[in-house]
Amino acid sequence: MSKSLVIVESPAKAKTINRYLGPDYKVEPSMGHVRDLPKSKLGVDIENDFAPKYIIISDRRKLVTALKKAAEKVSLIYLAADPDREGEAICWHLREIFKDGQAEIRRVLLPEITKKAVEEAFQHSVDLDENKVKAQQTRRILDRLVGYLISPLLWKKIGKGLSAGRVQSVALKLVCDRERLIRAFVPEEYWTIAAQLRAANPPEFKAGLVKLEGKKIKLENGTQAGEALERLKQTPFILEEIKVRKKKKEPPPPYITSSLQQDGFRLLRFPVRKTMSVAQRLYEGLELGERGLVGLITYMRTDSFRVADEALAWVRSYIGANFGPDHLPAKPRFFATKKKVQDAHEAVRPTSAELSPLAVKPYLKKEEYSLYKLIWDRFLASQMSPALVEETEFDIRSGPYQFSSKGEVLIHDGFLALYPGQKKEGAVLPQAERGETLTLLNLEHSQNFTQPPGRYTEGTLVKDLEAKGIGRPSTYAPIISTLQNRVYVIKEEGKFVPTDLGLFVVDFLVLHFADLMEYKFTARMEEELDRISIGEVDGLTALKRYYAHLEQDLIKAGETEGVTRSGIPVEEKCPLCGKQIVIKSGKFGRFKACSGYPECQHKESLRKNESRPLEEICPDCGSNLVQRRGRFGFFIACSNYPACKYIKKDRVDTGIACPAACGGTILRRRTRRGRFFYGCSLYPQCKFATWDEPQKKACPQCGRPFLLLKQPKNKPGLLHCSDEACSYKEVVPLPAKPEGDAQAEGAPEQEPEPNATPESE
C-alpha cells in the first residue's frame, strides 16, 4: 500500500497531474459526477427535510467498481476535482463511496495545473468544505423540485415534452420580455443637421446641431429641419469656445468567467459552451513540446478579480522588459470585486511569463490559441498604464443655434499597445482661435428613426443574466442550450428570438408562479446559496422557504384549465381562412396549424427554417413538397401533412459540400436494404460515403465545415470530425427525462455492422 490514489474529473487533467506527481501516485479520472438523483423519480424526500436519495449513475457503475478496488490498495486518497462547489460535491460523493474503506481521504485544491502549484497543493491538502457541499446540494434539490414538479404540470396543461427550470425559465422570461419590448416599440421620427466648416487653418471638419436657444434641440419632422436649414444659411458660424482636456482611458480588469464568455462571443464569435470547453482544456493542460503537459491558465470559473502576489510580480517584470517603464504603473493595480463574491479563486490569467502566446502558438489548435491570447492580453493590459488622450471640443454658435464638434489625439498608448485596433483617433480639429468666424461649406440634413432594443446574442444574454444575478456563469452554457433544444427560442442571424411556444410557456409560468419567475426573487436565491457556502445561512431553512412558495403555486395552477386538446393559441391568424393559429404536437414534433382543422389544413414549422418548400409536387394530392428535419435527419414530405402522409423515399440533399472537393454535395440516400446513408451527389465519379449524419457545424479543431454524428440506439451520440486525420470527438448525451416524461416516438435506426459499407449494401 505504498501508492496514493488521486481522483480528478477528466482523463486530460489526470494525464497532466500524473506527470508532475511521479510513480508514488496513481491518478484516475471519475469522468465528472459518479452519483446523482435518479432520473425516473423525484428523488427528494420532502417530508423528511428534503433528504436526497442519490444513486450511482448507470454508466458510471463499472468505473465506480474500479475506483473502489483501486482505493482498497492504498492508505491515502486525494480528491482533486475542480476547486468550486460542483467539484466539492463530486469529491463528497466519492468520499461517501469510499467511507467504508481504511484509506484516509484528503481534498486537494488546484487553482492552476503547473508543477509548482500541484506540488504545493499536495503539501497542503485540506478537509472537504462541508458548507460548499451543502450549497451545491441545496441548489441541486431546488432545481429538482422545480423541474420535476412544475414540468409535469406543463405536460398536463399544455403538452408533453415541455420543461421548466428554476433558472432556465427566468432566463427565457428575459428573452421574451425583450421580444415584447421590440414588438411594442413605436419608432419616432427625428432629423439631424450637420455643418461642414473651415477655419483659417486646415483641416475642414464637421459639427452637429445640438441646441436651440440653450436647450437640447429635437427636430421631429422634415418641415422643422427645413426651416432650421433656411435660417442657418443666413447666419454666420462663430467659434464661441474651445475646450481642451486630457483624459485617461483606464485598462480593464482581468477576466472573470462571465466577461470571458462575453468577449469570447463578441471578439471570437465563440458560443458560451465553446468558450468554456476551450478554457477547460487550457486549464487542464496541453502538450507543449519539450515542456510536456502544462496548464496554461488558472481555474476558469471565478467571480473574483484577485491576482496572486507572485503573478503580479512576474507580469510587472514582463511589462517593464517588453513595453518599457512608461507602460508600467508605479504600483500594481487592484480591482474591486463585488461584495457578494466569495473571492475563493483568482481571476482567469496565464500561469507563467514563459508561456507567451508566441511561445505556445506552434502547439495549440486555432481556437485554443485565440482564446489564450485573449486571456494573455487582458491580463497584461490590466497591469499596464492607462492610455492618455487629448480631447478638443469646439462650441459653435450660429444665431440661436449651437453646434458641437469633438476631436481626439492619442498622447500615450499605455495598455492600448496590446490592442492596435483600438488606437484609432477621433476627428482631428484645426488650430483655431476663440471668436473666429468659420466658413460654411455645406449643410447636411437626414431623416432618422429611433430604434427598438436589440435582441439578445449569447454575449449580451450572459451580460444581462450576470447583471440581474440570475444563475451563475458556470450554468449559462447549459441554460442557453436547453432553451434552444426545447424550441423555446431560435437563433436568427445570431440573435435569440422566442418562439410562440416559448412566449406561451413564459406567460403560463408568470401567471401561476409569479414570485418564482421574478428576477429579484431568483437573484436573492442565488445570494442565499452563496451565503450557505460560507456558513451564514442554513440550507434546510432556504429549502423550506422556497418550497412554501412552490407548493402554494402548484395547488392553484393545478386548478386551471389546460389547452392540450385545442392546441396552444398564438397571436396569429391563419393566412388561408383567418381563424386562430395554434401549436399542436405531431409525429415529427410540434408545429403550428389552423384551429379550423380539418376544414382548413394550413400548417407550418415552429422553426422558420425547418420546412423548406420545394418546386416538386406531391404525387398523391398535388400539394407542394417540403424538406423537413426529423429524428433521423432531413426528409422530403408533403406540405399537406397530416391529411396527406406521402414521404419521398429516395435522396435528400443536405446542402453540405462533399469533403472530397469534387464539386458535389452530400445526399441522404437509402441502401437496397432500406438503411439510410450519406454519399456524394456525383457518385459513381466520387465515392465518398458514410453511415453517420453530417452536421452543419465546423470542427473546432481543424475547421472542416461539418461534423458527423454517430447515434446508436438509446445511447449517447458521438460527434466526430469527418477528416480521419483529425482526432476531434464530442459526446452528445441523451436528454434527461423527468418522471412521467413520454419516451420519444420510435428509436434511432439500428447501426450497421462495423464492416458494412453503404456501397456493399
AA letter at 311 = A
- What is the C-alpha separation between 103 and 65, in angstroms, rounded? 16
Among 632, 648, 664, the domain boundary falls at 648
Per-residue model confidence (pLDDT) at position 607: 62
Report, in this order, helix, strand and coil percent for the chain, each rounded to 5.
35, 25, 40
Per-residue model confidence (pLDDT) at position 111: 93
Sorting pLDDT into bands at 50, 70 and 90, what band is 613? low
Per-residue model confidence (pLDDT) at position 569: 81
Per-residue model confidence (pLDDT) at position 616: 67
**Per-residue pLDDT for 755 more than 50?**
no
Asked if residue 370 belongs to a domain, the reply is yes
Of the candidate ranges 273-282, 409-418, 491-500, 659-668, the one whose mean pLDDT is the lowest: 659-668
Per-residue model confidence (pLDDT) at position 339: 58
C-alpha cell at 472: 451563475
Tell whether 490 and 547 lie within a shared domain: yes
| CATH number for position 306 | 1.10.290.10
Calculate mean pLDDT across residues 204-209. 96
Q: Which residues of 157-175 are buried (b: 16+ CB within 10 A; e: fewer)?
A: bbbebbbbbbbbbbbbbbb
Residue predicted with more confidence, 31 or 344? 31
**Per-residue pLDDT for 524 more than 90?**
yes
Contact 101, 71 (CB under 8 A): yes
- What is the C-alpha separation between 136 and 88, in angstroms, rounded? 8
Per-residue model confidence (pLDDT) at position 744: 27
Per-residue model confidence (pLDDT) at position 537: 93
Tell whether 342 and 437 lie within a shared domain: no
Asked if residue 85 belongs to a domain, the reply is yes
**Per-residue pLDDT for 462 more than 50?**
yes
Write down the catalytic residue from 299, 401, 456, 547.
299
Asked if residue 760 belongs to a domain, the reply is no
| CATH number for position 427 | 2.70.20.10
Which residue's entry shows cell 428509436?
Answer: 747
Tell whether 472 and 499 lie within a shared domain: yes
Calculate mean pLDDT across residues 426-443. 94
Per-residue model confidence (pLDDT) at position 343: 54
Tell whether 29 and 123 lie within a shared domain: yes
Asked if residue 54 belongs to a domain, the reply is yes
Asked if residue 752 belongs to a domain, the reply is no
Among 397, 431, 449, the domain boundary falls at 449
C-alpha cell at 382: 490590466
In tens, the pLDDT along 231-274 reads: 999 999 999 999 999 999 999 999 999 999 999 999 999 999 99
DSSP calls for 206-241: EEEEEEETTEE--B-SHHHHHHHHHHHHTS-EEEEE
**Per-residue pLDDT for 629 more than 60?**
no
Q: What is the pTM of this model?
A: 0.76
Per-residue model confidence (pLDDT) at position 747: 25
Tell whether 20 and 79 lie within a shared domain: yes
**Per-residue pLDDT for 404 more than 50?**
yes
Give the pairing of strands 401-412 and 717-721.
unpaired
Tell whether 590 and 574 lie within a shared domain: yes
The helix/strand/coil state of 636 is: strand
**Per-residue pLDDT for 342 more than 90?**
no
Tell whether 298 and 357 lie within a shared domain: yes
Tell whether 355 and 394 lie within a shared domain: no
**Per-residue pLDDT for 751 more than 60?**
no
In tens, the pLDDT along 347-396 reads: 999 999 999 999 999 999 999 999 999 999 999 999 999 999 999 999 99
Residue predicted with more confidence, 116 or 717? 116
- What is the C-alpha separation between 275 and 367, in angstroms, rounded? 9
User: Which H or E element spans position 559?
Assistant: none
Tell whether 10 and 120 lie within a shared domain: yes
Per-residue model confidence (pLDDT) at position 601: 80
Tell whether 641 and 659 lie within a shared domain: no
367: Cβ contacts below 8 Å, ≥ 6 apart: 268, 270, 274, 278, 700, 701
User: Which H or E element spans position 729?
Assistant: strand 729-732
Calculate mean pLDDT across residues 672-700. 81
Burial of residue 661 (CB within 10 Å: 0-12, 13-18, 19+) is exposed
Per-residue model confidence (pLDDT) at position 598: 79
**Per-residue pLDDT for 428 more than 70?**
yes
Asked if residue 541 belongs to a domain, the reply is yes
Sorting pLDDT into bands at 50, 70 and 90, what band is 531? very high
Among 534, 558, 582, the domain boundary falls at 558
Tell whether 462 and 478 lie within a shared domain: yes
Contact 439, 198 (CB under 8 A): yes
As a whole-number percent, the residues of the chain with pLDDT over 70 amount to 89
Q: Strand order in 568-573's β-sheet? A: 568-573, 580-586, 589-594, 603-605
Asked if residue 753 belongs to a domain, the reply is no
In tens, the pLDDT along 74-83 reads: 999 999 999 9
The domain containing residue 614 runs over which residues? 568-648
Taking residue 88's Cβ as centre, other Cβ atoms within 10 Å add up to 25
Task: For residue 218, list its beta bridge partners.
Answer: none
**Per-residue pLDDT for 650 more than 80?**
no
Per-residue model confidence (pLDDT) at position 310: 94
AA letter at 157 = K
Per-residue model confidence (pLDDT) at position 455: 96
- What is the C-alpha separation between 709 and 718, in angstroms, rounded? 6
In tens, the pLDDT along 569-599 reads: 887 888 888 888 888 876 556 788 888 887 8
Of the candidate ranges 175-179, 274-278, 418-422, 663-667, the one whose mean pLDDT is the lowest: 663-667
Asked if residue 659 belongs to a domain, the reply is yes
* Catalytic site includes residue 641: no
- Three-class secondary structure assignment of 110-159: CCECCHHHHHHHHHCCECCCHHHHHHHHHHHHHHHHHHHHHHHHHHHHCC
Per-residue model confidence (pLDDT) at position 737: 42
Tell whether 505 and 530 lie within a shared domain: yes
Per-residue model confidence (pLDDT) at position 605: 72
Q: Is the peptide bond prior to 251 cis by the omega test (within 30 degrees of 0)?
A: no
Q: How many domains does the chain have?
A: 6
- What is the C-alpha separation between 679 and 533, in angstroms, rounded? 54
| CATH number for position 45 | 3.40.50.140
